[in-house]
């Protein structure tokens, strides 16, 4: 039977951060209909499905040391292009099962290309993710109405398939007061809405809403950091940016956007990438007993 883990990501304490399901399969490919049913049963904002990647003998594979896995993500309603917190959870599960050593890097083959996760000695896991910068886009009408009466400035939309609209509010008090019109957010045309501002005790703060893909409000969102980190790195004129996600559960993300990591020059970040770091805690383990539909 496939093993199952429920992991709280971007937190070092149980029952905080963002819960993600992680299903570890012995072989693939993953049957999409079965995976969707499992994700709906789990009910977390995303469930990750891991399969050992087939052995490769090419130049790209030889440049990549360490284990390699195929990774896909489903919300309760659909498969998504990228999920940061479930990727963090997946790496955490591999580490916990002795399949990823501290200091080592795992490679994930995904719909968003090749991703990497590295286990640092301080317990954090660092994800190497694509940057999703904001581009100009027609603003929705009545931004304040979209946010439940909170004034906001529309910054644009990310130019990726899993596009997000981005709105900035005045401060964390305004951010906490946001009560989005979920029906309107679901019809904006993108995957979700990032609402962000300067942080209080962090460089930036954010919340993320994605009712169009079955997630009313995501507790902590690694993929949203792929947008917020480059924005605030430019504003702060430095590469390292801390982000607090001010959801009910809350969580913290450490990021490095297109610069050199503080742990050494060998961890430099390409201009079109973002390193997103955080902790994770496993809360539940077991097996998926429902019929496993492998194609």
State phi, psi for 226 to the nearest 5 degrees.
Answer: -65, -15
Provide the CA 108 distance to its chain's centre, in angstroms.
Answer: 14
Helix (H) or strand (E) holding 185: helix 182-186
Q: What are the CA-CA distances from residue 139 to residues 58, 59, 144, 162, 167 (Å)? A: 45, 44, 12, 18, 10
Q: Say how many Å lie between the first and final Cα of the chain, rounded.
A: 15
Owner of token pair 């570890």: 24
CA angle 223, 48, 92 (to 5 degrees): 80
Torsion of the alpha carbons at 193, 191, 250 and 18, rounded to the nearest 10: 180
d(CA 47, CA 76): 8
Provide the CA 38 distance to its chain's centre, in angstroms.
Answer: 19
Beta bridge partners of 164: 192
d(CA 252, CA 241): 11
**Residue 63 CB burial class (10 angstroms; 0-12, 13-18, ≥19):** exposed
DSSP-assigned letters across all residues of 171-229: SHHHHHH----HHHHHTSSSSEEEEEEE-SSSSEEEEEEEGGGTEEEESS-HHHHHHHH
Active site (catalytic) residues: 46
């Amino acid at each position: 039977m496939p093993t199952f883990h429920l992991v709280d990501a971007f937190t070092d304490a149980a029952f905080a951060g963002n819960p993600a399901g992680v299903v570890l399969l012995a072989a693939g490919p993953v049957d999409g209909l079965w995976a969707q049913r499992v994700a709906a049963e789990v009910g977390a904002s995303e469930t990750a499905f891991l399969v050992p990647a087939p052995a490769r003998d090419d130049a790209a594979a030889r440049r990549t040391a360490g284990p390699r896995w195929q990774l896909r993500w489903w919300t309760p309603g659909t498969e998504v292009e990228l999920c940061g917190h479930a990727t963090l959870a997946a790496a955490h599960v591999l580490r916990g099962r002795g399949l990823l050593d501290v200091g080592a890097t795992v490679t994930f083959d995904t719909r968003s290309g090749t991703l990497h996760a590295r286990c640092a000695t301080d317990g954090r896991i660092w994800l190497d993710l694509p940057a999703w910068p904001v581009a100009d886009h027609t603003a929705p009408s009545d931004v304040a109405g979209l946010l439940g009466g909170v004034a906001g400035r529309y910054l644009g939309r990310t130019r990726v398939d899993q596009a997000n609209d981005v709105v900035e509010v005045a401060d964390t008090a305004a951010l906490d007061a946001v009560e989005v019109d979920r029906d309107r957010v679901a019809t904006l045309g993108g995957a979700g809405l990032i609402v962000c501002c300067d942080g209080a005790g962090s460089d930036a703060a954010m919340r993320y809403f994605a009712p169009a893909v079955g997630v009313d409000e995501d507790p902590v969102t690694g993929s949203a950091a792929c947008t917020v980190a480059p924005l605030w790195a430019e504003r702060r004129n430095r590469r390292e940016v801390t982000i607090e996600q001010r959801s009910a559960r809350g969580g913290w993300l450490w990021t490095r956007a297109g610069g050199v990591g503080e742990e050494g020059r060998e961890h430099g970040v390409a201009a079109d990438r973002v390193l997103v770091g955080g902790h994770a805690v496993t809360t539940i383990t077991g097996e998926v007993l429902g019929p496993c539909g492998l194609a």
